[in-house]
Amino acid sequence: MRLFVAIAMPEDVTDRLAAVMGGLDGARWVDPADLHLTLRFVGEVGRDAAEDLAAALSSLRAPAFALRLSGFGYFGGGRRVRALWAGVEAQPALEVLQGRVEAAARRAGQPAEPRKFVPHVTLARMAGPVGEDEVAHWISVRGAFTAGPFEVREAVLFESFPGRDGPLYERRLAVPLERLPDADDWEQGEFD
């Protein structure tokens, strides 16, 4: 099983992203229904390891929070841009969630993630040599981009399957995040 933990994008955000996708030669665009923010890539594991991970994630506790996408960027450089993505505004609660997902993965026996967490939503992977100039032009034509804010209410364990037009994702476990009371709740006496 090939697994990862992510935040799925709500429909209004995927609609905004889908509206700007396209128009870059050499890009393989992610299906808008599959857009997500990866919290932890796990990779290929056996059934026992997958069950251990699901159990560890089930005990995860973290608050729900609002998230906003902002701007575009890319990984790679020169003539070898590898991926184009939408950025994420800094949000301490996202860092907390990612840290707790990482801790759960470690408790389940997964090795430490060596890469620094760079929150983003991958829009396209490059099928061939695509250079920084082409990607920078694509970004500049689209101008300033934002989507959201939207409430993040769960983290999802996904399984990835190879597909003819790119990977297919299936939800394996949804981990609900805790809703924190707001001022209206206190005024209505819900937390007395």
Indicate yes or no: pTM above 0.85: yes
Name the active-site residue from 17, 27, 36, 38.
Answer: 36
Please state, in angstroms and as integers, the Cα–Cα distance from residue 73 to each residue in 82, 105, 123, 138, following that order.
Answer: 11, 28, 10, 10
CATH of region 2-179, choose from 2.40.160.20, 3.90.1140.10, 3.30.750.24, 1.10.10.60: 3.90.1140.10
Name the active-site residue from 38, 56, 62, 120.
Answer: 120
Examine the pLDDT at 188 and tell me if it is beyond 60. Answer: no
Cis-peptide into 162, omega within 30 deg: no
Q: Which of 89, 95, 107, 106 is nearest to 63 (CA)?
A: 95
pLDDT at 79: 84
Domain spans of the chain? 2-179
- Per-residue pLDDT, averaged over 99-126, amounts to 96
pLDDT at 187: 53
pLDDT tens-digit profile of 1-27? 999 999 999 999 999 999 999 999 999
Which one is predicted more confidently, 10 or 179? Answer: 10
Decide: 40 and 105 in contact? Cβ < 8 Å.
yes
The pair of structure tokens assigned to 21 is: 């996708």
CA distance 184 to 192: 13
pLDDT at 191: 43
36 an active-site residue? yes
